[in-house]
Amino acid sequence: MYHRKVRDSATPSPGTRDACATRSSPLHSRVHFFLYRNGRLHCEDVDLARVAEELGTPLYVYSAGTILDHYQRLDAALAPLDHLICYAVKANSNRAILKLLADAGAGFDIVSGGELFRVLAAGGDPAKCTFAGVGKSREEIEYALDQRVYSFNVESEAELEYIDRIANASRRRGMRAPIALRANPDVNPHTYEYIATGSHENKFGIPLGRLAAIYERAANMRNIDIVGVQMHIGSQITEAEPFADAIKKVAPIVRDLKSKYGIKFFSIGGGLGIVYESSFESGRSEWWKENTSASTNKSKALSIQEYVDATLPALRELNVRILLEPGRLLVGNAGVLLTRVRYIKQTGQKKFTIVDAGMNDLIRPALYHSYHEIVPVEEPNCVGSVSGAGQTSKNKSTNKIKEKIDIVGPVCESGDFFALDREMPEVHECDLLAIMSAGAYGFVMASNYNSRPLPAEVLVRGDKFAIIRKRQTWKDLVRGEIDAPV
């Protein structure tokens, strides 16, 4: 329940940055609703500095308006197709966010029994859930069968046989397991190697040359119901071509399967990338016009419409239901991690900004060396810049002091960093920073490493915000642990 209301103390002036982006304007040409207003960073109409003062830091903050806008834009772009958008729960599994999407009509892409449990707890429909993952357990398969999920995405022959055996044990309940084999189209998604899933070198899916034979085996299994075919080539893909290439390779197989087995759907997976660099500026519609213009001949970001335009023609010809499994696309740019500066440390030619968030709160920079833009919550208004260690110069374009710093956390690891040699406005102790694009694979990958309590999570909707996960306490860290009897 939204129980707090936060309003600006003053009406935004005409000079306020991006002043045209008020709550009355739609998000359809933007990727998020984080903006400076009266010199303070806001999420929708909520002043983030005030939220941090009330709830402390580190703190995850999500924009409900941004999430729903992304979902609605994708849904509208796919209107020519019979389709179902199945949100990839692994990107951000907070129950409040799942409920937000369930209420909007979304289905869900799940990869564990726990994720299915979360979806059900949020009011999601199991008949709109596809169950993916290469190593499903007996308990998870039985639970998903009991809940009557839409489909199991099968990754191997061994898994197909395992599901058949488990479904056979449940025949007294009249159950047949609905399945879709996961095709591995062997395309290069041009993304980071750890999140590429559509190559022959990855553990995911079945080679195209083996699909026909395995579907024939499945057709002869008494407890298996063939309902579709699925593929997924990777994550954080910012070009339309890999998606279009994969669809073209799998489309003939889909037509054949429809003819032989009457399959109902083709799931083309997710993977559409978001803006990490220039994340804050991408909140302006003008940024998209500047960075996707024909004159540049190269887009810095892939819009929803460009993605649909590249994939729609081949999909329309199939005349089956199309499933999408976006995760990062819906929630990535909708979240920030707020963190406060504890100390400034100067060591020779190196300057460190030590913040209260750590790699346990957001591990992506340490794990993938991934880039997250970091902006001050108080809008900088200084003159001049620092372009290197000890070198001061004038920055005519921004007219603000800048310096190269490392932004690091308190965890006892050299890999505990959020930015290295990052040019930033001058930062001081107690300043509040916002780590952008933290809505996906942020909290869900957090841990208690160094016995650090997990941060709180907040959902913003208009001028209201609500805590959707309480901050852990030190007592929570040992809850569930039991003394050995000897």
Pairing relationship of beta strands 151-154 and 107-110 according to DSSP bridges: unpaired
Q: State both tokens at 459.
A: 């959902």
Residue listed under structure tokens 């490392």: 406
Q: State both tokens at 73.
A: 């834009």
- What letter would DSSP give residue 237? B
Cα–Cα dist 309/240, whole Å: 9
Cα–Cα dist 477/256, whole Å: 54
Tell me the C-alpha to C-alpha distance, in Å, between residue 235 and each of 14, 226, 367, 388.
40, 27, 15, 35
Ranges of beta strands (E only) in 53-124 are: 59-63, 83-88, 107-110
Residue type, 88: A
Q: State both tokens at 22.
A: 């008020």
Cα–Cα dist 300/308, whole Å: 17
Give one word for 315, left, alpha or beta, with left for phi > 0 and alpha for psi -120 to 50.
alpha
Annotated catalytic, 412? Answer: yes
**Do residues 345 and 398 lie in contact, with contact meaning Cβ atoms separated by under 8 Å?**
no
* For the chain, counts of helices (H) and of strands (E): 13, 24
| Class of residue 127 by CB neighbours under 10 A (exposed 0-12, middle 13-18, buried 19+) | exposed
- What letter would DSSP give residue 176? -
Q: Which of 20, 382, 412, 430 is catalytic?
A: 412
**Do residues 178 and 131 lie in contact, with contact meaning Cβ atoms separated by under 8 Å?**
no
Residue listed under structure tokens 């499933």: 323
Pairing relationship of beta strands 350-355 and 335-347 according to DSSP bridges: antiparallel
**Do residues 274 and 31 lie in contact, with contact meaning Cβ atoms separated by under 8 Å?**
yes
Q: State both tokens at 151.
A: 């489909």
Orientation of helix 157-169 relative to helix 138-147, angle to 10° = 60
| CA-based torsion, 270, 271, 273, 276: positive or negative | positive
Cα–Cα dist 212/31, whole Å: 41
Q: Please give the positions annotated as active site.
A: 412
